[in-house]
Structure 1
Amino acid sequence: MHLPRTAVLLSSDPQFAFYLEEVLALANNEGAPTGEVLRIATSMIPHDFESAYNSFYPMAQGIYAQAESGMASNDRVSAREAYLRAASYYRGADFFLIGNWSDPRVDPLWVQQLDAFEKAVALMEVRVEDFTLKAHSPNMPGGEFKVIGRFYRAANAIGRTPTIVVGNGYDGSQEESYHTIGLEILKHEYNFVTYGGPGQPTVRRQQKIGFIPDWYNVATPVVEYLSKRSDVDMSRLPLIGLSFGGTLAPIAASREHPFTKVVAIDGLVSIQQGSKEEWPKPIIELYNNEWLRQRNSTYPSSLRWFIDQGLYSFNTTNPYEWFSRLGNITMSPEVVKTMPRPVFVAKGQDDTMSLNQPELAYEILVSGRPNGKNLTYFHEFNTSLGAGEHVAIGAMKIQTSTPPLTRVKSY
């Protein structure tokens, strides 16, 4: 992985540096104070995935104990904030372990982060409702699965309210989305909704199912659920996709036309295509020679993690199968031509992870559908304002003050 010029290098290992910056960015919205993250960074050993667990887990346990102490003394604010931070660190402890599915820590760590987050939710000033929805897909064994999500009601809202639905991608969690964009959405007095489908962290762990190409079948029950609520304005229902979610969101909106617009941060046509360009030799070798999976310790940390996460999130131990299925999830001409709504494509000015994918997405959306030029918008987050990296990491306030979100009430 190429080092972005804007990166805050908290590690000499590019993958660790990016992940630590991702966690540090949560300091903007109650997810991880800088001092705690910097302390974690000092004990992470470059290229040593086990050291990430050894660095994050003690911090998670210590902060969780603070939260429990706050609850015991009826200090609800301190308890809520500590539970949120503990959840962030439990996720960090888990993040690099998924290369070994049989590791007995993987699932319990996720249970711990969910427990901490749910305890924080119970102490929030806004009303939050969990939902579990039955869904169907021909790509799913047995044809059925469950979509899991949360509905956050805007404070002081009366009646039907604009509602923003946010979906993550390759590895991001719903809980993380609360910090990265959700709290800012709630400050703007919109409802905020997260959802997760096959391959995404909670669904993958609880249901043991991987990503599917027909992502619209994940979105369908969410739309139906929202349409039955008396506090949702269905005429103002944007869908935001973050990172790989910038591919999944357009796929969802290609069939689910109740979404009034799509915001893809970043807009990605195909992760498979992008990975071939970033790591051409090892990816092609891996694709053609399954046994090389056993030798991936020689690869850069970023590629090792990409492979580990891919195998896990697609629920397969076969590298060829993973990479083939990854190529089936794409913003294809067939997807684009059935999208009648406005689409906002965004990228960071110095985002070296997405390469030219956002520009390709914009071109496809313009040329591949009726009135595409007038329905498609491109926005580049500026490096000079601290928003130039992948998904404008660390610049949540800039994200929510740019036209794609400030125009929500117009759609």
Structure 2
Amino acid sequence: MGLLFKRDFHDEFGTWALGFIPYGGIDFGEITAVAQAVGDGDDSAFYEAWVAAGDRFSTEAIDTLAKGRQAVARDLFLKASECYATAKHPIFGFPVDPGLVEAFRKQTAAFDQAMALSKTPVTPMRIPFEKGSLPAYFIPAVDYPDSVRPLLILTNGYDGTVTDMYFASAVAALNRGYHCLLFDGPGQGELLIEQGVSLRPDWETVVSAVIDVAVTLPLVDVARIAISGWSLGGYLAPRAASGDARIAACIADPGVPSLPDSFRQLIINVLGASPEAVADLGKMDQQLLDQIWHLFTNNRKLSWSVVQRGFWVNGVNDLRAYLTSLDLYTMSGRESLIRCPTLLTMAQNDSLSTAATAFYESLTCPKTLLTFSADRGAGDHCELMNRSLLNRRVLDWLDDVFA
């Protein structure tokens, strides 16, 4: 399909919303209306158009709730939350734009209002973690609000939000009979934006704290706890499964065994560097580092991904420190620690999934590799243009594992 938004950079973020339409997200016409409002404007125009849409949905939700229509108000609050979450993507990074914080707070407030209006009681939680706590939501399965059921823990990646994760994964799982637990970890959502807590590679530490609380919930079948991660979560979920035996199934969308290897391959392919020159990312020759910096800062998407977003999320201030931090994000040597059945996905045109096959081959646990193709509209990152197909196949697999 052609671009909905005039700028490629905006189109990538704005079209996330297309993948959420089947799960109660805003409709296609609303997305195109926002795109028209943005026009050929800059990141501020993108932000303002999406926030304006969120404000409209919030106002409609409040008016509808005053008339006693709780179910309709809930849907409208969810749509508002989605708009606020989308608005902040292009300005996501350091230095922190006040608009980013405002949109995040509006998004959270709208999501909380939606959850409070759910037919089945949703439990907002604070999960103790080190010196602080993680925000989380326990959402019972649609048809089993009072039954002990399997639990699906959902984990984000770099810049996804709880709202995104709800639409992308939770709605389908809830409708299939799974309780869901959504949370923000270090480097994500509240912990990053409000508390300044950076991402960390030892995600097993994070998820173990989540499971410590989950196993105390009376509706959770403690023998059937699964974890699913999308985008960078395709590394974080397997990392968690390698360190906590209570995880009975693991889903990585896509399977990501190593962040540094992905960067090494990029540098080799684009700049013609030798494998030896990039063996240790943190100790690369300064001349090569300067070439990489020029590459990143002269490409809008790479500049956003690495300099704007990556530095902030990883808590670093320069390229060498960033590349040094990446070396910690690897499953090398930990593959055999994953004992539970594990599902990896690989989308045809998703650069993050290029090592999924090698990752699959390195696993010694019961394993499955699902591939998704462009001819089904599911070839892009996290299969966002056909999320229904992804969810159907993944949940079929999980049904079989937990049968």
Shorter-chain TM-score above 0.5: yes
Residue identity matched to 1:265: D
Closer, same or farther in 2 for the Cα pair 1:64/1:362, shift >3 Å?
same
Partner of 1:398: 389
Residue identity matched to 1:331: M
What does residue range 97-136 of structure 1 map to in structure 2 within 5 Å? Answer: 97-136=91-130
| Alpha-carbon distance between aligned partners in 2 of 1:72 and 1:119, rounded to the nearest angstrom | 13
1:255 counterpart SS class: coil
Residue identity matched to 1:155: V
| Alpha-carbon distance between aligned partners in 2 of 1:347 and 1:180, rounded to the nearest angstrom | 17
Match of 1:362 among 360, 363, 371: 360
Residue identity matched to 2:310: G
The answer to whether 1:350 aligns with 2:349 is: yes
Deviations 1:335-364 (A, max 9, x none): 21211111111122232x325121222122
Deviations 1:234-274 (A, max 9, x none): 22111111111010011111111111011111111223332
Give the deviation of 1:204 after TM superposition: 0.8
Residue identity matched to 1:154: A
For structure 1, list consecutive stretches of 5 or more residues without a partner in the other structure: 1-6, 137-143
The answer to whether 1:147 aligns with 2:147 is: no
Give the deviation of 1:145 after TM superposition: 3.7
- Which structure's relative contact order is higher, taking Cα pairs within 8 Å and 6+ residues apart? 1
Q: CA RMSD, aligned part only?
A: 2.7
Partner of 1:139: none
Partner of 1:172: 160
Partner of 1:35: 29
Closer, same or farther in 2 for the Cα pair 1:179/1:56, shift >3 Å?
same
Closer, same or farther in 2 for the Cα pair 1:125/1:395, shift >3 Å?
farther
Residue identity matched to 1:169: G
1:234 counterpart SS class: strand
- Percent identity reads 21
Partner of 1:234: 222
The answer to whether 1:88 aligns with 2:82 is: yes
Closer, same or farther in 2 for the Cα pair 1:100/1:206, shift >3 Å?
closer
Give the deviation of 1:295 after TM superposition: 7.7
- Contact preservation (8 Å) 2:347, 2:381: yes
- Contact preservation (8 Å) 1:344, 1:404: no
Aligned residues: 389
- TM-score, normalised by the number of residues in structure 2: 0.88
1:210 counterpart SS class: coil
Residue identity matched to 2:357: E
Partner of 1:306: 305
Give the deviation of 1:47 after TM superposition: 8.7
Deviations 1:100-125 (A, max 9, x none): 42422221221111001111111112
Match of 1:181 among 169, 178, 196: 169
Partner of 2:206: 218
- TM-score, normalised by the number of residues in structure 1: 0.86
Residue identity matched to 2:43: F
For structure 2, list consecutive stretches of 5 or more residues without a partner in the other structure: none
Residue identity matched to 1:322: Y
- Contact preservation (8 Å) 2:143, 2:175: no
Give the deviation of 1:296 after TM superposition: 8.3
Residue identity matched to 1:346: T
| Alpha-carbon distance between aligned partners in 2 of 1:154 and 1:323, rounded to the nearest angstrom | 41
Match of 2:375 among 384, 388, 393: 384
Deviations 1:57-115 (A, max 9, x none): 22122222111211222222222121111111111221111344242222122111100
Residue identity matched to 1:54: E
Deviations 1:181-240 (A, max 9, x none): 111111111101112210012211122110112111101111111111221112211111
Closer, same or farther in 2 for the Cα pair 1:68/1:293, shift >3 Å?
farther
1:85 counterpart SS class: helix
- Contact preservation (8 Å) 2:10, 2:90: no
2:181 counterpart SS class: strand
Give the deviation of 1:387 after TM superposition: 1.9
Give the deviation of 1:12 after TM superposition: 5.1
| Alpha-carbon distance between aligned partners in 1 of 2:261 and 2:58, rounded to the nearest angstrom | 41
Give the deviation of 1:310 after TM superposition: 0.8
| Alpha-carbon distance between aligned partners in 2 of 1:55 and 1:381, rounded to the nearest angstrom | 33
Residue identity matched to 1:326: L
